[in-house]
Structure 1
Amino acid sequence: MPFASLRGFLSLQTPLQFLPHLSPPTLLSTRTKQPLCLSVSFAASAMDSQSPCLLVLFGKSSTEKELAKSLKDNNSLKLPDNDKFSILLHSETRIPVEENCFRNNSFLNCLSTTRFGRFLIWSPQLPSTHDAVSHNFGELPIGAVCVADVQFKGRGRSKNVWESPRGCLLFSYTIQMEDGRVVPIVQYVVSLAMTEAIKDVCHKNGIPHLDVRIKWPNDLYLDGLKVGGILCTSTYKSKKFNISAGIGLNIDNEKPTTCLNAVLQKLTSVTYRLQREDILAAFFNKFETLFDLFIDKAIQCFLQLGIPRHLTDFTYL
């Protein structure tokens, strides 16, 4: 079913009762003392896991920019384990950024959402984008995203820890939901939005479609090899589920399996290479539409749109 036909599912009335009962995954929050702000270099290559982290705050509109200033002025943000870090506003970053750093302005210029992705935290190197948004959920607006060029304590399922080098799109963002019955399914909306985003970027740039597929429960596969993964965790507070959704997607690093650009080069002689900023903007543009449909018609929308075309091993239902 084409993405353009999504709105046709608004009239569906499939009941939710056929789904097995699942409790939403939880992430226990911890209180940490306010870290000391330090001045650090932009260059991720000059940093290691012992260096203080740098967080740069961006906003697409004046409202988000004012929030960024308030968070910095009030020292509102924190990292787990008392990790030290410093904060800069985008307007304060006068030092030239490395060529292969995330191009934040390019991302924001391509973004057309009203909620998701509009408040951005970027770091050249961070222990975990997922921990960054989880530990600051109450301070951040819903839809805020944290992006890192390098990640050395990335989180996976079953408490797995991943080191993520350059060439990967690494980000986590905030979602809020009220219906606990469908919270466990939101990760599939995230997965579907990413597959649609990759297809959309390929189409807009006139390059062959990359058939990225979803493998249950949280992996992204291309040509039979894993190129990405999704992690969604949640806490429950004030009758709402606060969800932190994280994605790692291998765009430009062929190790340990393959990457999107390596497969693309096999399909075409065009020199164009997929960029992290374009895919992230396309992801949020797709996710916001899909999420609104999901909340409105929940499971039936997911079933009709996700299973037939994208899932390669859906053993849950």
Structure 2
Amino acid sequence: MGRSWAGISGNLMASWYGVLPVELRHVTQLSFVTALAVTDLLRPLVASPDSLKIKWPNDVLYDGRKLCGILVQTEALDEGLGIVIGIGINVTDAPDLEAYGTTALNVITREPHDAIDLLQHFDPLFTARLGSWQKDGFEATAQEWLSQAYGRDRICLINHENTPVEGTILGLDGFGALRIEDRHGHIHTVSSGSVTYTDTPCS
């Protein structure tokens, strides 16, 4: 589908493919479904589970450092949408990124972990999360994402319609876009682009 994955030997790099009868506008929801399955996997392994956070729209962080990335792509088929969900978890080592720091599971836990073993444990967790999303809809997923959302306790900065806006995270809309409330009480919906998180706590 036009993109390739590259990573460090020993890290977990995997893709799931399925054909689902879902509208294209709802596909973004699968990033959050997958991220919750990743935190389900990692939470029992780390000393401080509350340090695991999900950064909108598709990263899992530990103590503010990127531990996992998620990518969702689609192709139109007669029977529905062909969907590829790629995940990359830093297990043995972490690549250098300019945007923010990175970390790896073995560094966090100070214990060796095997990517294949992690993938085998991840599979039923993802299947359960996907099944819940298909059965119950997105609302429960969105609420659980908010409980683990990175930056919800601080002021964040966005560029909304070419205007910089400061605000706090309210949650997700029905399509997975980020809802932010500014200091005047106005709500902005961000469907793409970057969000910058300040060190200023929410009042």
- State the shift of 1:295 in Å: 0.5
Residues 254/185 of structure 1: CA separation in 2 closer, same or farther (3 Å cut): closer
User: Which of the numbers 96, 104, 124 marks the counterpart of 1:285?
Assistant: 124
1:182 matched to 2:20? The reply is no
Sequence identity (%):
24
In structure 1, give the amino acid aligned to 2:63: D
Match of 1:167 in 2: 10
1:247-296, Cα deviation, whole Å (9 max, x unpaired): 1111111442321111222xxxxxx4222123212211111111111001
* 241-250 or 253-262, which deviates more: 253-262
Residues 170/289 of structure 1: CA separation in 2 closer, same or farther (3 Å cut): same
Match of 2:41 in 1: 197
In structure 2, give the amino acid aligned to 1:187: S
Match of 1:72 in 2: none
In structure 1, give the amino acid aligned to 2:55: K
In proportion to residue count, which structure has more helix? Answer: 1
User: Which of the numbers 136, 139, 149 marks the counterpart of 1:311?
Assistant: 149
In structure 1, give the amino acid aligned to 2:57: P
Query: In structure 2, the residue corresponding to 1:164 is in which secondary structure?
Result: coil
Q: CA RMSD in A?
A: 2.1
Asked if the contact 1:177–1:242 (Cα under 8 Å) also holds between the matched residues in 2, the reply is: yes
CA distance in 1, matches of 2:120, 2:36: 15
Specify every segment of 5 or more residues in structure 2 that has no aligned partner in the other structure, as ranges.
97-101, 152-170, 172-176, 180-203
Residues 250/240 of structure 1: CA separation in 2 closer, same or farther (3 Å cut): same
CA distance in 1, matches of 2:14, 2:92: 15
Match of 1:213 in 2: 53
- 1:226-305 aligned within 5 A: 226-256=66-96, 257-265=102-110, 272-305=111-144
- State the shift of 1:316 in Å: 1.1
- State the shift of 1:224 in Å: 1.0
- 1:73-112 aligned within 5 A: none
- State the shift of 1:209 in Å: 4.6
In structure 1, give the amino acid aligned to 2:109: L
In structure 1, give the amino acid aligned to 2:150: T
CA distance in 2, matches of 1:303, 1:217: 12
CA distance in 2, matches of 1:290, 1:216: 18
Aligned length: 148
Which of these two proteins has the greater Rg computed from alpha carbons? 1
- State the shift of 1:167 in Å: 2.8
- State the shift of 1:304 in Å: 2.9
CA distance in 1, matches of 2:71, 2:37: 14
TM-score by length of 2: 0.65
* 229-238 or 248-257, which deviates more: 248-257
Query: In structure 2, the residue corresponding to 1:242 is in which secondary structure?
Result: strand
CA distance in 1, matches of 2:104, 2:123: 21
Residues 242/214 of structure 1: CA separation in 2 closer, same or farther (3 Å cut): same
1:124-180, Cα deviation, whole Å (9 max, x unpaired): xxxxxxx6xxxxxxxxxxxxxxxxxxxxx42xxxxxxxx412131111110222121
